[in-house]
Amino acid sequence: MNVLLEILVYGAVQSAVYAMLALGFCLIFGVAGVVNLAHTTFFMIGAYLIYTLTSLANIPLPLGLVCAIFGTGLLGIAVQHFAIKPLIKSEYSVMMITIALAFFCQELVLSVFGPVDRNVKGFIDEKLTVFGLVDIDAQRILTLVVAVLLIVLLWWFINRTKMGNAIMAVAQNREGATFVGINATRIFLVVMFISACLAAVAGAFIAPTVGARPHMWENPLVRCFAVVVLGGLGSLEGTILAALIIGYTEVIVSFTLSSYLSELVILGIFMTVLIVRPSGLLGRRQEA
Amino acid sequence: MGGLRKFSVMALAAAFLVSLAGSAISAEKVIRWGVAAPLQKEAGIGSKNATIMAAREINAKGGILGHKVEVFFADDEARPEAGIQAVKKLIFQDKVDFISGGWLSGVGLAQADHIFNAKKLWLSVGPATPKLAQMVKSNYDRAKYFFRVGCVNSDYFAYDMAVFAEEFYKKKLGLTKIALMAESSVWAREMATYLKTAFNKKGMQIVYMDVFDPKRTDFSPQFAKIRRSGAQVLFTVQAASPGVPLTKQWAETQLPVHQAGYSLSSQVFNFWDKTGGKCYTEVTQLINGGRAPLSPGTIPFYDNYVKEFDQCPPYTAFGSYDALYLLKYVAEQIKSLDTDKLIKALEKVDYQGVAGRIRFTKDHEEVYGEEGKLPVWIQWQGARKMEVIFPFKYATGKYITPPWIKKK
């Protein structure tokens, strides 16, 4: 019973982190067709911004958090406008410019902050015992709560607001949406803002438990890519499902075999799904 | 007779000219000392800083056999491919005479063939795998250029870990149940395999064991299993891993175990800041050096390093400093910089370095123990407060139990 509860809680936390990271990546691909390889760079920037604002500038944590998220969102808009928009017709050029941007940001962070890890302040610095049995640091539970809230909020925004409907319209048929007066370029900027903000939230909430370092974007990018492809490129529901599969698989393998094997098992699942269903779990099947 | 005199005069003149030419070369020659290390990481930064210190001091006192030492650095990025490029850069571009530095065993193993091909004396300070010395044993003529200066090999520091566990945790604190977590790098796996048997032989029980990816940032499943296993002490073996996530989660989840082991990142001052002080009571093994009177030069070197770099020296700093001084010592003993002669001299050397006594086995390993190198164990007791707790004769502070364990 104890083990099952532990798997339930730790798996939920891990899945929430992956979902929060991958949703933005999925959103910008689904709407603008942009494979943004600099997506997890926003995750790193969010972590460093909150470190700078709260630890160096001594701004109170809630205000620092808002500034870090908003600042990263604005950076996302700048990236979309100045780097991606001019190249948007060529997906390879977009991939090249975004990966170059990711390395540029890494080097920039390296030169400003140096290679050593930075300690990022968290909201809660305590241990929690969930269901009276599962010990976990409270910051991770907070991350889970925030992730769930953001997913619900995103779902509401996409499905229940005018802007959300416009985003869906552009995602489904860009030309058609333009004909009915939707400004697709503006929609791309909004989506990139949301996408960057989501990554920054992930950075700001995860960094207190793992620290901030210049290379922290690399591993999550690979994981993010795996989640989005597994779920089906452009499918938000698929992304959440894939995040749950990968998050829980990682935890179950760590519990039953060895944490070292979790990577192997996840890649096995990833390849199997792609062979059986190339469009991903909930992705739209493309006609030949 | 006249012919003989004429020949003698000519021979003397020739000898004079040769000696003049020799001294002219000698005056111009610079000793080119190459360091391949991960220059963005603690280990590489330590090597670079200490090499610069040693070269500056040696040059200020007239160099080695009158030759100035010039140092060259190449970043191995802690990756085998980059490590090979780094030694090639040092050999072919910088044309170095000697090679030092290094950190990860996987990188060292990848570099070995390239250094042996170039027949460069290699005073390696970082890689701990015994496989490098096994190369000397199995093919001496090819691999004789390798000497491990900066630390004993991973078998020895695993042995030392078992000695510490027995003497400190078992005999002093009565703790015998061990959880062992090793990262998946070459040397750490080798150590874990060794430790599994060594702990058992010492009468301790390994109740949990895991090998983890150095990039791993969530240890919740492992810690849950450790909690259930009844472990009393968690031993970790990690160098490539940042160390921060594991330590923070250990403290934040109040895992009810003492934490000790080998963690490279926890060997330097900034680990306190990196973890926000969560490393309080963590214990780590320093495999080469530390602020203990291991030799007359240890504490002065340590303090000078801290004064100059505002950071304490990692093990690679002690090794890099000693490597250059060791070359000076043997070269001045034999009055030569000839590689083969230096190798023979190093095989017999008995030198007092800043991290302790340096002697080599026939396979060019450093000798472990009282007659050679002895690791020390420190505990984090505050910002910049790393107290030596073992060997007992070097102890500078009393052991502190993690506060959440004490509460029980």
pLDDT > 60? residue B14: no
Contact A13 B274 (CB under 8 A): no
Chain B residues whose CB is inside 8 A of the A126 CB are 252
Q: Which residues of A touch B (CB under 8 A)?
A: 2-3, 6, 10, 13-14, 110, 115-119, 121, 125-127, 134-137, 139-140, 206, 209-211, 213, 219, 251, 254-255, 258-260, 263
Residues 6+ apart with CB under 8 A from A271: none
DSSP designation for B123: E
Q: Which residues of B touch A (CB under 8 A)?
A: 40-42, 184, 210-213, 215-225, 227-228, 242, 244-245, 248-249, 252-255, 265, 270, 273-276
Option in B210, B248, B275 nearest A259 (CB): B210
CA B340 to chain centre: 24
Contact A209 B270 (CB under 8 A): no
Chain B residues whose CB is inside 8 A of the A219 CB are 215
Q: Which of A41, A36, A42 is nearest to A98 (CA)?
A: A36
Option in B219, B252, B275 nearest A125 (CB): B252
Q: What is the mean pLDDT of residues B205-234?
A: 92
Minimal C-alpha gap between A225 and chain B (Å): 17
Token output for B88 = 């090639």
Chain A residues whose CB is inside 8 A of the B270 CB are 116
Edge-first strand order for the sheet with B121-124 is: B68-75, B30-37, B98-101, B121-124, B146-148
Contact A13 B249 (CB under 8 A): no
Minimal C-alpha gap between A209 and chain B (Å): 6
Option in A210, A219, A258 nearest B244 (CB): A210
Q: What is the mean pLDDT of residues B106-122?
A: 95
Closest CA in chain B for residue A8:
B221
Is the peptide bond prior to B402 cis by the omega test (within 30 degrees of 0)? no
Option in A135, A219, A255 nearest B215 (CB): A219
Option in A137, A258, A263 nearest B253 (CB): A137
For residue B373, name the pLDDT band (cuts at 50, 70, 90). confident
Does B345 or B6 have the greater pLDDT score? B345
Distance from C-alpha of B326 to C-alpha of B75, rounded to nearest angstrom:
23
pLDDT > 70? residue B407: no
Closest CA in chain B for residue A252:
B221
Buried b (16+ CB within 10 A) or exposed e, A169-184: bbbeebeebeeeebeb
Option in B42, B184, B245 nearest A210 (CB): B245
Distance from C-alpha of B240 to C-alpha of B211, rounded to nearest angstrom:
13
Minimal C-alpha gap between B195 and chain A (Å): 18
Option in A118, A134, A255 nearest B225 (CB): A255
Chain A interface test: which of B41, B209, B212, B220 (most A C-beta within 10 Å): B220
One-letter identity of residue B290 = G
For residue B65, name the pLDDT band (cuts at 50, 70, 90). very high
Contact A14 B252 (CB under 8 A): no
Q: Which of B96, B143, B79 is nearest to B117 (CA)?
A: B143
Which pTM was predicted? 0.81
Percent of chain B with pLDDT over 70: 92
Option in A115, A134, A258 nearest B41 (CB): A115
Chain A residues whose CB is inside 8 A of the B211 CB are 258-260
pLDDT of residue A189: 95
Distance from C-alpha of B33 to C-alpha of B69, rounded to nearest angstrom:
7
pLDDT > 50? residue A288: no
Contact B216 A117 (CB under 8 A): no
Closest CA in chain B for residue A114:
B40
Token output for B198 = 């060594």
pLDDT > 50? residue A274: yes
Closest CA in chain A for residue B255:
A135
- Tens digits of residue pLDDT in B268-311: 888 999 999 999 999 999 989 899 999 999 999 999 999 999 99
Contact A211 B274 (CB under 8 A): yes
Distance from C-alpha of B34 to C-alpha of B100, rounded to nearest angstrom:
6
For the CA atoms of B25, B27, B28, B32, the dihedral, rounded to the nearest 10 degrees, stands at 100
A271-278 LR contacts (CB < 8 Å, sep 24+)? A273/A230, A274/A229, A274/A230
Contact B242 A139 (CB under 8 A): no
Coil, strand or helix: which one is B213? coil
Q: What is the mean pLDDT of residues B62-88?
A: 95
Diameter over CA atoms, chain B: 102
pLDDT of residue A285: 57
Lowest-confidence range among A67-76, A190-199, B69-78, B125-134? B125-134
- Tens digits of residue pLDDT in A119-168: 998 888 888 888 888 889 899 999 999 999 999 999 999 999 999 999 99
pLDDT > 50? residue B204: yes
Contact A211 B244 (CB under 8 A): yes
Minimal C-alpha gap between A188 and chain B (Å): 33
Kindly indicate whether the ipTM for this predicted assembly is greater than 0.85, answering yes or no: no
Distance from C-alpha of B85 to C-alpha of B275, rounded to nearest angstrom:
34
Minimal C-alpha gap between A48 and chain B (Å): 13
Contact B244 A254 (CB under 8 A): no
Option in A10, A14, A115 nearest B40 (CB): A115
Chain B residues whose CB is inside 8 A of the A118 CB are 274
pLDDT of residue B25: 36
Cα–Cα distances in angstroms (integers) from residue B34 to residues A140, B47, B74, B123, B166, in the given order: 45, 11, 8, 10, 40
pLDDT of residue B12: 52
Closest CA in chain A for residue B273:
A119
β-pairing verdict for B233-238 and B177-183: parallel
